[in-house]
């Protein structure tokens, strides 16, 4: 479901927020506590290369789930433990799947900004890579063809540098004030990228959250804690089955937590 993004507020919020990501120099945000911080530190270490499954098995480390994205992934306005990647960590733990989550979201980043920082962020192998990008391109009204080409380059680069990783692309939507033709083309871009690049499509990140004031912060687009819990459910619903096929060893059948 695509909600009303309250487009003007959204445009001001995402474009003005943390645009360091467009410069290609910003390092990814990581969780303040827990295994994600350690994983990010190891990713920055020289020589962190190789097959993700083999390296993890040899060292006893858990396979990594790497989240690449904008402020929606970074968790702008929320405590780090409340951002949806941290919630996915808890869901995986509760489901008995042995993964480490690394949150590499950067606020204000366009797809071009993500492409520029890929070399840095892909230093440590990952078992699963979740790509959430394009929202800021849409908010700026950038041509869909240009955004599609850039995201295609991102997916190709990931495949080339981490051929063993399972790649999941998050469906995003453009604000409705850009017109039906643009929003339809933007929506259709993601399934087309999935077909062309052999990745898996996850549901719209803000499904059942976008445009609902009670689920968003004052800017009208970044989810609050209640909304972020629903975002995590959207992502988990799409990726749980993939995680069970991507190296997460089940150690129990505990209920999935928030």
Per-residue pLDDT reduced to its tens digit, 117-175: 999 999 999 999 999 999 999 999 999 999 999 999 999 999 999 999 999 999 999 99
113, pLDDT greater than 50: yes
Is the CB of residue 52 less than 8 Å from the CB of residue 43? Answer: no
Is the CB of residue 109 less than 8 Å from the CB of residue 22? Answer: yes
| 25 — pLDDT class (breaks 50, 70, 90) | very low
More confident site: 211 or 59: 211
75, pLDDT greater than 60: yes
The pLDDT > 90 percentage for the chain reads 69
192, pLDDT greater than 60: yes
More confident site: 33 or 81: 81
112, pLDDT greater than 70: yes
SS3 content of the chain, % helix, strand, coil (to 5): 50, 10, 40
Is the CB of residue 41 less than 8 Å from the CB of residue 32? Answer: no
Angle, vertex CA 113, rays to CA 112 and CA 115, nearest 5: 65
Angle, vertex CA 14, rays to CA 147 and CA 219, nearest 5: 145
Whole-number Å distance between alpha carbons of 44 and 47: 9
55, pLDDT greater than 50: no
Q: Which of 22, 93, 107, 222 is catalytic?
A: 222
45, pLDDT greater than 70: no
Q: Which of 52, 71, 107, 246 is catalytic?
A: 71
| pTM > 0.85: yes or no | no
The pLDDT > 70 percentage for the chain reads 72
> How is domain 7-243 classified at the architecture level of CATH?
3-Layer(aba) Sandwich (3.40)
* Span 165-193, average pLDDT: 96
Whole-number Å distance between alpha carbons of 94 and 182: 40
59 phi and psi angles, rounded to 5 deg: -95, -10
Structural Rg of the chain based on CA atoms: 17
What pLDDT does 249 receive? Answer: 54
Q: Which of 51, 55, 81, 219 is catalytic?
A: 219
Is residue 219 annotated as a catalytic residue, yes or no?
yes
Q: How many CA atoms lie within 13 A of 191 on its CB side?
A: 5
Of 5-9, 106-110, 128-132, 246-250, where does mean pLDDT reach its minimum? 5-9
Is residue 79 annotated as a catalytic residue, yes or no?
no
> DSSP letter at 105?
E
More confident site: 83 or 52: 83
* Span 211-222, average pLDDT: 95
* Span 218-233, average pLDDT: 96
20, pLDDT greater than 80: no
* Average pLDDT, rounded, for the chain: 81
Is residue 222 annotated as a catalytic residue, yes or no?
yes
Q: How many CB atoms lie within 10 A of CB 150?
A: 20
């Amino acid at each position: 479901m695509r909600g009303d993004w309250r487009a003007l507020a959204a445009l001001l919020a995402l474009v003005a927020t943390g645009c360091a990501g467009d410069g290609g120099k910003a390092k990814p945000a990581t969780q303040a506590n827990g295994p994600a911080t350690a994983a990010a530190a190891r990713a920055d270490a020289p020589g962190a290369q190789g097959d993700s499954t083999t390296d993890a098995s040899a060292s006893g480390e858990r396979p990594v789930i790497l989240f690449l994205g904008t402020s929606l992934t970074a968790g702008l306005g929320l405590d780090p433990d409340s951002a949806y990647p941290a919630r996915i960590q808890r869901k995986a733990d509760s489901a008995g799947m042995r993964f480490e989550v690394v949150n590499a979201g950067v606020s204000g980043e366009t797809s071009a900004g993500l492409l520029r920082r890929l070399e840095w962020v892909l230093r440590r192998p990952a078992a699963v890579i979740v790509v959430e990008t394009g929202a800021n391109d849409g908010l700026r009204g950038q041509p869909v063809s240009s955004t599609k080409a850039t995201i295609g380059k991102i997916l190709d680069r990931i495949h080339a540098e981490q051929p063993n990783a399972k790649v999941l692309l998050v469906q995003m939507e453009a604000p409705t004030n850009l017109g039906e033709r643009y929003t339809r083309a933007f929506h259709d871009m993601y399934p087309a990228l999935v077909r062309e690049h052999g990745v898996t499509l996850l549901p719209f990140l803000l499904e059942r959250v976008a445009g609902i004031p009670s689920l968003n912060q004052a800017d009208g687009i970044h989810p609050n804690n209640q909304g972020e819990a629903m975002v995590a459910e959207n992502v988990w619903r799409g990726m749980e089955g993939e995680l069970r096929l991507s190296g997460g060893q089940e150690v129990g059948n505990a209920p999935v937590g928030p």
